[in-house]
Every structure is written in structure tokens, then in C-alpha cells.
Amino acid sequence: MNTLCLAMAMRKPDFPAALVGPHRAFLAWMRAEGRMDALAASPPAAA
């Protein structure tokens, strides 16, 4: 679920900041692990 929300936040600039906030630590961890490129390269999730 975290990955889905994160992907939505990355693709939708108007995504509510209140829902993105809890994922800041998750984003920082993914950057440290070098996984941001893999997530950004993944196809958009089906709506």
C-alpha cells in the first residue's frame, strides 16, 4: 500500500500533502537504497 500511495504522490502534483507526509521517511530510505529510479521507471499503476 505504501508503494501505491508513493507512486500516486509522485505522479500527481496535487496529491494531498497530509497523505504524503508519513512517507517522507520512506522516501528518504528509498533514496538511500537507490530504489527511486526503479520506482520511477515502473509503469503507472492501474486506476
Q: What is the DSSP string of 13-46?
A: TTS-HHHHGGGHHHHHHHHHHT-HHHHHHSPPPP
pLDDT (tens digit, 9 = 90+) per residue, 3-33?
A: 666 666 666 556 566 566 667 777 777 777 7
CB contact at 8 A, 6 and 25: no
**Average pLDDT over every residue of 30-47:** 63
String of b and e for 31-47 (b: at least 16 CB within 10 Å)? eeeeeeeeeeeeeeeee
- Look at residue 47 in the predicted model and tell me its pLDDT: 47
**Average pLDDT over every residue of 23-44:** 68
- Structural domain boundaries in the chain: 1-10+22-37
